[in-house]
Amino acid sequence: MRITSGSDYEKWCALWLQKHGYKNVRMTKASRDQGIDILCEKNNYRYGIQCKYYSSPVGNFSVQEAYTGAAFYQCDQAVVMTNSTFTKDAEDAAEETNVELWDHFSPSAASVFARIFDGLLLLRLVLCVCLFIYVALHAELDHRTFLTVLSLVSACASLASIFSTSFSPFLSLFLEGMCLCMLILFTAYFPAFSFVFYAELLLAFISLFVFLRDKHQHRLLHKEEDLLLKAEDENEARYQKAMEIKEVLARELHCEITLVSYVYHEEKKLLTMQYHTNANVEADLPLAQYALQQNEKENEIILSDLNKRRIQADLWEKNV
């Protein structure tokens, strides 16, 4: 997955969390994220994660944002996740506020296999350039044109494989196939160098393996992105439901209502919403609950007074 913006990085982080056992992974809306980009759960622990795609170390302001945002979403743990590192001030702030810092999380971190493969491709590219220069300087060589074309095709195959994110992988496979065909002739012209053909054959098989692996990963990625988009749509529906309930409460309680948080519990199929009021409304809650229940005839809703002008609405829903 290519990362070109902060939103791309947030999506990659959400997919990474899904792959590593985190449940109910959902991305918050950018317009109201409250400093938290991703919400997720693991081992009955609720995480609020802020993602930072930086080329420089992340400062302590991001730590403060994650801390306040996690409190807003009623998370057990605040996290700042970045492809970079953290400043000393950020580390001190994280220790003071108990915010976890996750650094060096990046899709560009190549595996050992990928590094070795890229190294072999680079070595072949250098050898092809050397061969091209050698042939150009020695006009008396036999099969000079053939060697020139072979060096150019092999060099292009190396470049196409190295920069596979910019070129079509099919181009890389096509060029590798051309190299193999030409090297069959090469072994006929220069039988003493037949080992070159077997080395090229090995690279071709590795390229095919990389191609099939990438296709499989892209298929999984698209599937996970679809699940992520579905979760985001479901979260938007829950937010709209929380806002609908807010409007009913404001009308029935005759006061100003502010949505503080909304949390969906997957196991219980329960949507818990907390609101702040500008007046004491405990006496009017039964009437408000009756009005809400009329709107939610297929679902059960319970209002609770949390004191300090806070009320909680618990909605057991079938179609959230």
CATH number assigned to the domain comprising residue 39: 3.40.1350.10
Which of the four pLDDT bands, split at 50, 70 and 90, describes residue 314?
A: very high
pLDDT of 119 strictly over 70:
yes
pLDDT of 202 reads 80
Q: Which residue would you say has higher pLDDT here, 68 or 226?
A: 68
Residue 211 is assigned to a structural domain of this protein: no
Residue 248 is assigned to a structural domain of this protein: yes
Same domain, 170 and 97: no
- Which residues does 255 contact at the CB level (< 8 Å), separation at least 6? 277, 278, 279, 281
Same domain, 10 and 103: yes
Same domain, 116 and 102: no
Cβ pair 48, 70 in contact under 8 A: yes
Counting beta carbons within 10 angstroms of the beta carbon of residue 68, is it exposed (0 to 12), middle (13 to 18) or buried (19 or more)?
middle
User: Of the candidates 124, 156, 189, which is a domain's last residue?
Assistant: 189
Residue 200 is assigned to a structural domain of this protein: no
pLDDT of 33 reads 56
> What percentage of residues in the chain have a pLDDT greater than 70?
89
> Between 194-253 and 112-137, two packed helices, what is the crossing angle to 10 degrees?
140
Residue 51 is assigned to a structural domain of this protein: yes
**Total count of domains within the chain:** 3
pLDDT of 165 strictly over 60:
no
pLDDT of 320 reads 47
> Between 285-295 and 194-253, two packed helices, what is the crossing angle to 10 degrees?
130
Same domain, 102 and 11: yes
pLDDT of 110 strictly over 60:
no
Cα dihedral value 71, 73, 74, 80, nearest 10:
-60
Phi then psi for residue 164, to 5 deg, are -65, -20
Q: Could you tell me the CATH number of the domain that includes residue 274? A: 3.30.980.10
Residue 210 is assigned to a structural domain of this protein: no
Residue 227 is assigned to a structural domain of this protein: no
User: Of the candidates 135, 154, 189, which is a domain's last residue?
Assistant: 189
DSSP assigned state of 278: S
Which of the four pLDDT bands, split at 50, 70 and 90, describes residue 81?
A: very high
Over residues 287-314, the mean pLDDT reads 87
- Determine the Cα–Cα distance for residues 13 and 83; give it in Å rounded to an integer: 10
Residue 226 is assigned to a structural domain of this protein: no
Half-sphere exposure of 109 (CA within 13 A, CB side): 7
Same domain, 239 and 277: yes
pLDDT of 109 strictly over 60:
no
Cβ pair 205, 177 in contact under 8 A: no
For the chain, where are the alpha helices, taking DSSP H only?
6-19, 60-72, 88-97, 112-137, 144-162, 169-189, 194-253, 285-295
Beta bridge partners of 270: 265, 316
Domain that holds residue 178: 112-189
Residue range 238-280, pLDDT digits in tens: 889 999 999 999 999 999 999 888 888 877 888 999 999 988 8
- Determine the Cα–Cα distance for residues 280 and 269; give it in Å rounded to an integer: 30
Same domain, 47 and 125: no
pLDDT of 113 strictly over 60:
yes
User: Of the candidates 91, 108, 125, which is a domain's last residue?
Assistant: 108
Same domain, 95 and 20: yes
Residue range 4-40, pLDDT digits in tens: 678 888 888 888 888 888 888 888 876 555 789 999 9
Same domain, 55 and 117: no
Ranked by mean pLDDT, the top range of 198-212, 213-227, 282-296 is 282-296
Same domain, 245 and 159: no
* pTM of the full structure: 0.49
Same domain, 94 and 144: no
pLDDT of 90 reads 93
pLDDT of 246 reads 92
Beta bridge partners of 302: 314
Residue 310 is assigned to a structural domain of this protein: yes
Same domain, 92 and 28: yes
Same domain, 98 and 10: yes
